[in-house]
Amino acid sequence: MNKYLKLIIGCILTICCTACEKFLEEKSDVALSVPDNLDDLDALMNFYTQFVDDPQTGEISSADFYLSDVNLASLLSSDARNAYLWTDDVFLEDNANDWNTIYSSIYYSNLVLEKLAKLEKEGTVTDRSRFNRIKGEALFNRGRKYLGGVWIWGKVYNESSAAIDFGMPLRLTSNFNEKIERANIRDTYQQIIHDLKTSTLLLPDVADHLVKPSRAAALAMLSRTYLSMGKYQEAVIYADSALQLKHDLLDFNTLDRSKKLPIDPYNAEVLLSAALRSSQILGQSRLRVTEELVNLFADNDLRKPMFFTLNADQSYSFRAYFGNTGGTSPFSGPAVNEMYLNRAEGNCRIGNLDLAIADMNRLLAARFKPADFTPWPATLSKEELLQKILLERRKELLYRGIRWIDIKRLNSTGADIDLVRNVNGKKYELKANELRWILQLPRTVIELGGYTPNPR
């Protein structure tokens, strides 16, 4: 057994032992046996902590926050520090990095899919509805994990080069000894889309709990996928389909700003309760919002007091953590507000300006007092409207693991967004379209998997 296999299995066994919520603890000892029936496979998929964690590195590498020099120096994780400063060697901590998080989840998904196929071949499936739901959950989780990975380790999708650009190793079985080549970007996205589309045919419209996938969440993930690819018509179609199933928005007029965390867990906008992988750097005690970002919000914008807390040193902390994280990590799951923004941007780009304006007015009306909200006019040009939508997207979807891919895709069309950080008097820069926007694979993965490193 090679070092990488031991590493992954150790990671999996550690996660398997993590306690789950009461309602998901049925037959929790399934991880200690070989699953061979629907009860076992259902229980395995109910280890929700294995599936809801999303990669954190993209968000750490984004620049809508900063750390004090003292807090940066106090980080226990060298990976987080390296990602923050855009150094080339990011993933050095073999036991706890985004690659392991992604591929351990993919391992479980593949194991479940294999066992389901065996049960079906044997003709022992008696509960087809339950069988379909479990299969849909496994496909959804595999597709979502590959999407999170390709955003970090792959180029932005480009039709002209997708067949030669490096994507993800597409491991589709639970056999770790199987040699898997690194797929190209085209095949990686095709696999993601196949998994998510198939899951929409199998999942229930509404899940038993928001930590579990639903059809609405799968449709939303397809919209997220297509938007990141620059396929705007498809992004609109799938955002619209998700909103047909769930379209409620939080009225910020009803929130209690006196609460430490004013946006409740499992609120009306959540389609899947997920979070960025737990990290010191993104925690409430260290993360500081840039003054530039805070100043983007008008004083009468209700998001400003709900999102930010002014500290004694006049810095700002972010406090709109929600989902199942309890305030320890930023929410990263698909949500209703994101779907309004996806549909608005997509409609704007394909020329449906009236539909885009209608979506933005509906979203923003829930973020201001009625007397303070001025609807966007129908006289906006396409370019004016697009810039306003992109600005609201940045403001509305703070620290959700989306900003990194947004900058990458916008830079690929000429946005020229550079990132800058200052640490101990030294200036660190990441220029638009530098190769460092495509993070390097973990060193261990390159060595043991035999993969070609990302170009530098």
pLDDT tens digits, residue range 315-370? 999 999 875 555 568 999 999 999 999 999 999 999 999 999 999 999 999 999 99
pLDDT of residue 326: 55
With a cut of 80, say whether residue 16 has pLDDT above it.
Answer: no
With a cut of 70, say whether residue 208 has pLDDT above it.
Answer: yes
Residue 439: which residues within 8 A CB-CB, separation 6 or more? Answer: 57, 61, 83, 90, 91, 152, 153, 454
Mean pLDDT throughout 430-452? 93
With a cut of 90, say whether residue 88 has pLDDT above it.
Answer: no
Q: CA-CA distances (angstroms) from residue 107 to 138, 186, 271, 307?
A: 10, 22, 24, 36
The distance from CA 223 to its chain's CA centroid, rounded to whole angstroms, is 13
Q: How many helices (H) and strands (E) does the chain have?
A: 18, 10
Question: CATH for 3-210+217-249+336-449?
Answer: 1.25.40.390
- Minimal CA–CA distance to 150: which of 431, 404, 455, 443? 404
pLDDT of residue 94: 62
pLDDT of residue 89: 79
pLDDT of residue 325: 54
> What share of the chain in percent tops pLDDT 70?
90
pLDDT of residue 328: 64
pLDDT of residue 54: 94
Six-digit token pair at 67?
């750390």
Q: Count how many residues are written for the chain.
A: 456
Q: Give residue-wise pLDDT tens across range 42-56.
A: 999 998 888 989 999
What whole-number distance in Å separates Cα of residue 24 and Cα of residue 441?
Answer: 34
Looking at this protein, which amino acid is placed at residue 28?
Answer: S
Q: What's the mean pLDDT when you consider all of the chain?
A: 91
